[in-house]
Structure formats: C-alpha cells, structure tokens
C-alpha cells in the first residue's frame, strides 16, 4: 500500500477538534493494518500558533508544504469570513492544479471559497454558517442539509463531527471499506454515515432510552441477507412504521430504507475486498437479491461496478 500524503493547513486561532478529526483518521497508527497515510501540518505562517482550546501549537512548515501533498485538509477557520492571505489561496489553487485533493472541514469551506475552488459547485459547511457562506459567495451552491459533499478533487463537510464522516469516506475511496472500518474501530466509532444524511442541527428532544435505535440497528446489521421490510423492522422495534421512520429521521437523519441500503452496500464492498465470492453470491449475502441489482446499486451510489471495485481494492 503506497503512502498517501495528507497535509493539514492551519490558521490562528486553530479550532482544535476539526484538526484532530483529520489527525486521528489520517495519522492513526493501526496495529492490524499497514500505514496508508503520512500526515503532517503546515500553517499560513510558520511558528507558534494559538488554538481555540487555549494551548499553542508549533507549525514548522508554511504553505510551501502543500506542494508535496496528495490531499490538503483545511480544518476550520475562525472567524470564518476572515480574509485569507493571497499566498495561501495561491498555494491551494496550485496544489489543486497539480492534482491534489482539497478538503474542507466545517468552516474551512470559506477558505476554499476564497480560493475559487467552490465556484459553480455544490458545497456545505456548519449549519449555522451556511447562510453566511451563500451570501458571501453566491457562485457557490450551498447545501445546508447534508453531512458532506465530495466532488473527487474537492470536498467539504458540515460541522465538526461530520468532518470525521468525510475523512472516513475519503479513506474508503483511497483504500477500501475494510481499511476504513479498521480506522473507525481504532477510533471506537460506529459505522459511517452517508454524506446525503441530514445535518443533526436541532433535534426536537433527546430520545428516551426505549426510543434508541441502537438495538434495532445491531439486529438488522446481523441479518442483512434477510428480507428486512419497514414492516418487519417496525415489528421488531415494537412501533408502527410511521413512528419508526420518524425516529430514523430524528436520530440518524435518514430513512430506514436509505440506511439499510447503505449498510448493504458497505457489507458488499467488504466481501468484494476480502473474498473471491461470485458477485451473485455477494448480492445474496447482503440482501440485494441479484448480481444485476448489486451492479445497478454500485453504479448509482459508487460510480463503478462490483468487478472494478474488486480489482481496485481486492485483498485475495
């Protein structure tokens, strides 16, 4: 596995959690997997750099470090609308032209917008800042209702936690679902959320213990190959289908059907990576019925075919 060089571009005062999201995902030392990334940090201006957590960090490299990056991460900015030095926006544009992937976490989207990398494109940021981003950069198509948007060469995420979702999504794109699952397990995280899920902005009320979806999700994931209709899921949860759908929207920001399809595709990806089972068998095991259906779902949601995915990420 070749090392993918990730460089985080920080600015004062640097939000520490957003930087930690990238550092934990791309800088993790996995005991059960080879290193997939080389992670480092550079600053708009090298030297001591204050953070929003009250401590000072030392950034030894400046924007010139972006020349060696395969992926550049901009992990949040305070205040979001502050002007970005021309040397920084120029370095970002140069890295993008060279073929580096440019990624913003949370309010890092404002930096990408100032560099012109979001012009004419769909993007997102923290739900409290989407109106500000749209007003400041009318050429950007701001989507306030998603966790992240990935165009391949440029990606943006919603608020802090969604940055982890985006980073894990990028790991799946680079090294496959099984490797990303190892990273998530190392971080003690649950299965990933799809980018199309809603931002968890203002839930009406905390779920009571007996309303938690966790037991149902665990039960369903152990039975992906079985027919799991809304009626069966609702029966298992002891509620009506309408109530169950509402709980999925409130707690996960998605519908039961969308959640189930995402889990089945994830399971199919791991089987394609780690086994040589025929595509027809993989489809049956994850509850997608047939190779034709699996191929159609892969094409729609992943932009590739099961066979091409296996050739790229297969371990057998």
* 56 and 48 Cβ atoms separated by less than 8 Å: yes
Instruction: Burial-class residue 42 by CB neighbours within 10 Å (0-12, 13-18, 19+).
Output: buried
Token pair in block for residue 61: 């490299």
Q: Are residues 30 and 107 in the same domain?
A: yes
How many structural domains comprise the chain?
2
Q: Is residue 227 part of a domain?
A: yes
* 133 and 149 Cβ atoms separated by less than 8 Å: no
Q: Are residues 235 and 160 in the same domain?
A: no
Q: Is residue 273 part of a domain?
A: yes
Write down the pLDDT at residue 219.
95
* 107 and 80 Cβ atoms separated by less than 8 Å: yes
Q: Are residues 157 and 240 in the same domain?
A: no
Between CA 126 and CA 3 the distance in angstroms is: 30
Q: Is residue 176 part of a domain?
A: yes
Write down the pLDDT at residue 209.
47
User: Which domain range does residue 216 map to?
Assistant: 206-316
Between CA 71 and CA 90 the distance in angstroms is: 16
Q: Is residue 200 part of a domain?
A: no
pTM of this structure: 0.78
Q: Are residues 174 and 216 in the same domain?
A: no
Residue 270: which CATH number? Answer: 1.10.10.60
Q: Are residues 298 and 219 in the same domain?
A: yes
Q: Are residues 129 and 230 in the same domain?
A: no
Write down the pLDDT at residue 301.
87
Q: Are residues 82 and 37 in the same domain?
A: yes
> Which residue in 137, 139, 173 sits closest to 155, CA to CA?
173
Q: Is residue 288 part of a domain?
A: yes
Q: Is residue 192 part of a domain?
A: no
One pLDDT digit (tens) per residue for the chain, 316 residues: 678 999 999 999 999 999 999 999 999 888 877 889 999 999 989 999 999 999 999 999 999 999 999 999 999 888 998 999 999 999 999 999 999 999 999 999 999 999 999 999 999 999 999 999 999 999 999 999 889 999 999 999 998 788 999 999 999 999 998 888 888 888 877 655 665 554 543 444 444 545 789 899 999 999 999 999 999 999 999 999 999 999 998 888 889 999 999 999 999 999 999 999 999 999 999 999 999 999 999 999 888 999 999 998 887 6
Residues facing residue 14 across a β-bridge: 51
Q: Is residue 199 part of a domain?
A: no
Between CA 28 and CA 289 the distance in angstroms is: 37
Residue 24: which CATH number? Answer: 3.40.50.880
Write down the pLDDT at residue 145.
86
Residues facing residue 42 across a β-bridge: 9, 61
């Amino acid at each position: 596995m070749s090392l993918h060089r990730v460089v985080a571009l920080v600015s004062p005062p640097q939000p520490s959690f957003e930087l930690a999201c990238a550092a934990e995902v791309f800088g993790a030392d996995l005991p059960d997997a080879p290193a997939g990334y080389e992670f480092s940090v550079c600053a708009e201006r090298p030297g001591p750099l204050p953070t929003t957590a009250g401590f000072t960090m030392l950034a030894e490299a400046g924007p010139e470090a972006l020349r060696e990056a395969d992926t550049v991460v901009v992990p949040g900015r305070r205040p979001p609308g502050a002007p970005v030095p021309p040397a920084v926006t120029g370095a970002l544009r140069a890295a993008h032209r060279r073929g580096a992937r440019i990624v913003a976490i949370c309010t890092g989207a404002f930096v990408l917008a100032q560099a012109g990398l979001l012009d004419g494109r769909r993007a997102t940021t923290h739900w409290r800042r989407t109106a500000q981003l749209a007003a400041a950069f009318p050429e950007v198509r701001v989507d306030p209702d998603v966790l992240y948007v990935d165009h391949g060469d440029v990606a943006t995420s919603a608020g802090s936690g969604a940055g982890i979702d985006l980073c894990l999504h990028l790991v799946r794109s680079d090294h496959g679902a099984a490797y990303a699952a190892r990273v998530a397990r190392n971080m003690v995280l649950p299965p990933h959320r799809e980018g199309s899920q809603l931002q968890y902005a203002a839930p009406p009320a905390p779920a009571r213990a007996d309303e938690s979806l966790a037991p149902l999700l665990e039960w369903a994931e152990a039975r992906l190959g079985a027919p799991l209709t809304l009626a069966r899921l609702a029966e298992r949860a002891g509620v009506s289908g309408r109530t169950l759908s509402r709980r999925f929207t409130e707690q996960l920001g998605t519908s039961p059907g969308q959640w189930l399809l995402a889990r089945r595709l994830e399971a199919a990806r791991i089987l394609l990576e780690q086994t040589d089972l025929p595509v027809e068998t993989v489809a049956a095991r994850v509850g997608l019925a047939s190779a034709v259906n699996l191929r159609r779902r892969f094409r729609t949601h992943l932009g590739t075919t099961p066979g091409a995915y296996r050739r790229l990420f297969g371990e057998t």
